[in-house]
Amino acid sequence: MESRKRIKQPIVGRWTKTSIIVLNSDGGGVTTYHDLLSNSPQTVTIDIPADMGTGQISQVVTKQGAVVSDWKMNYFSDMNVQGVSCEDYIQLLFCFNDGVSWNIADARQCVSIQKGESCIYRGHGKMEYLCYSGKTDFLFKNIKIPMPYFHKILNDYFEDSEIDAYEKKLLTGISKVNITPYMEHIFAEVKDFTQYRGGLGYLFLESKVFELLSVYLSEVLELSILSSSYISISKSDRDSITEAKRIIDSQLAFAPSCEELAKKVNISVSKLTKGFNSLFGTSVHAYIIDQRLEKAAVLLLESDLNVSQIATLVGYSKPSNFAAAFKKKYGVIPKNYKDENTIG
């Protein structure tokens, strides 16, 4: 989503910085620490004017020019905005709360994104018109990657056939995928760049952009590019199967059965199971198990919960079954996982 210009009045911005600390009594350390700060990623925060609503937009820029931003807004009344979509970037937009739609001039196209969805697209250089509904909580996260940098990433890491497939899919339209728990996990870690000084902050931030992009491209890949059976699945069935996956992701601990899922998304059990395997390369049951175990691995590393509590949280009634499944996937029992994956 482009930063957009409001017609009425400019929004006032402010810089947020970490306090400078004197490292030694003769002041020799101050310059060094100040240099580190000046070479660290800086967050720019823009407040929504008090007469318009509440919230703020914050962003930080990597060494390579990628822009990572958070948009949290609630306007008192409908807010109409417009702006030209910049062709210099490819964008990843993530919607974590109420959705929004926008119209693209000339193309006569309306694009919408809802809670739990994300999209990736290249700026098209055309005017976009958007209305934020009043008294609505908006929460978006956005990654803008300069096109030269994006092309460099493709050329450095992918074969020609892969590059052609990605460029045809990503640079000629808008691709949408559901936000996965792993994507949410990466975003939760992005803010940790403030723990690092100097170039380390940039390195950490860049690594998270890389990680998110790789996960995102994987989702796009699985959904459409290299799935040979993708074309044989109708759009309505594909949408239903994608919705079934979103339901699973949002209810991992109590994921519905295939029969329940099929009813929820208005598709037959046969179409759901065959289509799910074709689109995502795994069965519904195997996907649920894999996602539960990935979530458990994150909890083991980042929470103080014990193994039994984590087993329950991810949907296992018996810790022994959880331990067996976890060891099969990760090669180690849950209680030893954190020790073996902690550096130092």
Three-state secondary structure readout of 232-293: HCCHHHHHHHHHHHHHHHHCHHHCCCHHHHHHHCCCCHHHHHHHHHHHHCCCHHHHHHHHHH
CA distances from 245 to 223, 266, 292, 306, 314 (A): 11, 14, 13, 28, 16
Q: Domains in the chain, please, with CATH?
A: 13-225 (2.60.120.280), 230-340 (1.10.10.60)
161-174, pLDDT tens digit by residue? 778 777 877 777 78
Q: What share of the chain has pLDDT > 70, as a percent?
A: 82
Is the pLDDT at 108 greater than 60? The verdict is no
DSSP class of 49: P
CA distances from 160 to 151, 155, 170, 184 (A): 12, 8, 15, 31
Whether the full predicted model's pTM is greater than 0.95, yes or no, is no
123 vs 206: which has the higher pLDDT? 206
- Residue 262's closest CA among 287, 245, 278, 277? 245
Q: pLDDT-based confidence at 145, cuts 50/70/90? A: very high
311's enclosing H/E stretch is helix 307-313
What pLDDT was estimated at residue 167?
80
Is the pLDDT at 105 greater than 60? The verdict is yes
221-265, pLDDT tens digit by residue? 665 544 444 446 777 888 899 899 999 999 988 999 999 999 999
Least confident of 74-88, 93-107, 197-211, 304-318: 93-107
- The neighbour count for residue 302, using CB atoms within 10 Å, is 12
- The neighbour count for residue 96, using CB atoms within 10 Å, is 19
